[in-house]
Structure 1
Amino acid sequence: MITVKQTVLILIFFVLIGCQAQQAGSLSLLDESNVKRPVPSFLVDNGKEQLIAKYENKTPTEFGENVSGVYTHFSSSKKEIALTFDACGGSHGNDVDEALIAFLKENKLPSTLFMNSRWIDQNTALFQELARDPLFQIENHGTHHKPLSVNGQSAWGISGTASVKEVIEEMKENQNKIEELTGKKPTLFRSGTAYYDDVAVQIAQDLGVQIVNYTILGDAGATYNAQQVKDALLRAQPGDIALLHMNQPTSGTAEGVKKAIPVLQKNGYTFVQLHSQHLQ
């Protein structure tokens, strides 16, 4: 028979055990190391939220093609030139200058191709073919082909990105697309119109992106005739970066390049891609 005294002792024992369990449970809730928190999005989204917080209240002091931090040429002790070709995309820019591409291939001319997201969407098979060819270095020409600005500044009638968020997306969305299609992440960027503000350039640097413009205006947005393209290229100096277009087959770009390259080669010039160069 269990006595009354034993019964009371048993009840006290279970009360004490229950209190200890409750205390342990309370401690585990207060111990933040045991709590699984969601990973902040900036840690999984290339610092997006962190960058927005860093730059959202900064006011640009420069806007143009030669803003501080924009690379326009490279260091070389040799007679080297970089040929770069933009593929802009959009309603007036989705075409392919097949004659130009064929000439680059036939003459084994290393080139850097800045590809816009819209052009890639319309020419995906060709894009992948070019990306597989070691003759071509694939880089980023933006998602929507906009000037890169934190407050919507425009160039050549095209409105720029209007916030830090849009600056990041203009670069990162197409960068991600190119990486998904090729397995390689582009680290160079040229905006639509080649215009930037200085805050946008700083954002790019924080993202590990180098912004590259030019020293030679090779075809002036594919508006030059063949002779003008040739004349522009023949003014090249060692370390120059030439800006041309590969998406306007009715322009003078292909013929001008065809006329200029043999002359440049005769004068001792060779052609290089930008990924191995020391940009300045």
Structure 2
Amino acid sequence: MIDRYASIVPTKWGERISGVKTKLHTKDKVIALTFDACGGKDGSGYDEKLIQYLIQEHIPATLFINGRWIAANPATFAALAANPLFEIENHGTEHRPLSVNGKLAYGIAGTKNVKEVIHEMNDNADQIEKLTGKRPTFFRSGTAFYDDVAVSVAHDLGFELAGYSVLGDAGATYNSEQVYNALTKAQSGSIVIAHMNHPEKDTAEGVIKAIPQLRKAGFSFVQLASYPED
């Protein structure tokens, strides 16, 4: 695979390129809540308030977990993986944009070649499979940026690439009102991206405020794998 892609030059770069799924393929009033746990020096916290609210309200969600976050939170990861409300998916080994030439996104250097693309996806998938007995089928890169060559590599490895249609907390930088406003604009089939690794931020409060309004509007919540995606 490395040889096959080594000489191909990417022509597209971004969050919404072909092969990255951004919506559920349905007209049902359902929303897929997805929460990233990015890991690393400033990103290995655990927003227990957010997760306990989801559990209390029986709200399913998809959790994209980075390898560094698992290493920092092994017991919490095991508990989350054992809870059927949560679908555990792959947020990469080192939380890097998925590129074959080191392209940056938000100041984070992407993978530099096909070998690093494979490492970024497979090593964390192997770890999740070893710990949970189930190999993740979805991958979201650090920053959710991809180039078109990396997308093809991901598909050859058997991964679906998960983008988003609703920016729920902008990397956990939104205040609670901004999170609320973002989530309450969700539509049928929306995939919401937010974060569960910054308990010091306002994501939990915004989500807790938005969920009752979304339910009142007739929406229910599903795991990403429950529906096909566009």
Say whether the fold is shared (TM-score over 0.5): yes
The ranges of structure 1 where at least 4 consecutive aligned residues each deviate by more than 6 angstroms after the TM superposition are none
Residue 82 of structure 2 is matched in structure 1 by: 132
Q: Work out the CA distance in 2 between the residues paired with 1:223 and 1:251.
A: 7
Q: How is 1:108-147 mapped onto 2 (pairs within 5 angstroms)?
A: 108-147=58-97
1:80 CA displacement: 0.2
Alpha-carbon distance, 1:238 to partner:
0.2
Report what 2:197 is aligned to: 247
Give the one of 188, 202, 224 matched to 2:174.
224
- Separation (CA, whole Å) in 2 of partners of 1:146 and 1:175: 15
Q: Specify the SS of the correspondent of 1:230.
A: helix
Deviation at residue 250 of structure 1 after TM alignment:
1.2
The Cα shift of 1:53 comes to 1.1
User: For residues 44-55 of structure 1, what are the structure 2 equivalents within 5 Å?
Assistant: 51-55=1-5
Identity %: 57
Q: CA RMSD in A?
A: 0.5
Distance in structure 2 (CA, Å) of the matches to 1:73 and 1:128: 28
* TM-score (structure 2 length as normaliser): 0.99
Output one character per residue of 1:153-201: Cα deviation in whole Å (capped at 9) or x when no partner: 0100100000000000000000000000000000100000110000000
Q: Letter of the 2:107 partner, please give it.
A: G
Query: Letter of the aligned partner of 2:178 in structure 1?
Result: Q
Give the drift of 1:263. 0.4
Q: Are 1:158 and 2:108 counterparts?
A: yes
* Residue identity in the other structure for 1:198: D
Counterpart residue identity of residue 223, structure 2: Q
**Match of residue 66 from structure 1:** 16
- 1:275 deviates by 1.1
Deviation at 1:77, TM superposition (A): 2.6
The whole-number CA distance in structure 1 between the counterparts of 2:174 and 2:201 is 7
**Separation (CA, whole Å) in 2 of partners of 1:146 and 1:75:** 28
Q: Give the CA deviation at 1:94.
A: 0.5
Quick one: which amino acid aligns to residue 80 of structure 2? Answer: L
Partner Cα separation in structure 1 for residue 229 and residue 88 of structure 2: 17
Indicate whether 1:169 and 2:112 are aligned: no
Q: Which residue of 2 aligns with 1:35?
A: none
* Structure 1: gaps (5+ residues): 1-50
- Equivalent in the alignment of 1:208: 158
- 1:182-225 Cα distance to aligned partner (Å, 9 max, x none): 00000100000110000000000001100001000000000000
Deviations 1:228-260 (A, max 9, x none): 000000001000000000000111100000000
Secondary structure of 2:182's aligned partner? helix
| Equivalenced residues, count | 230
Greater Rg over alpha carbons, structure: 1
Post-superposition Cα deviations, 1:28-51, rounded to whole Å, max 9, x if no partner, equal: xxxxxxxxxxxxxxxxxxxxxxx1
Query: In the aligned structure 2, how far is the partner of 1:215 from the partner of 1:76?
Result: 14
SS at match of 1:86: strand
SS in structure 2 at match of 1:139 = strand
Letter in 2 for 1:195: F
The reply to whether residue 276 of structure 1 matches residue 198 of structure 2 is: no
- CA deviations on 1:6-57 (whole Å, 9 max, x unpaired) are xxxxxxxxxxxxxxxxxxxxxxxxxxxxxxxxxxxxxxxxxxxxx1011000
Aligned equivalent of 2:29 = 79
The structure with the greater share of residues assigned to helix is 1
Is 1:193 matched up with 2:143?
Answer: yes
Q: Which residue of 1 aligns with 2:188?
A: 238
State TM-score, norm by structure 1: 0.82
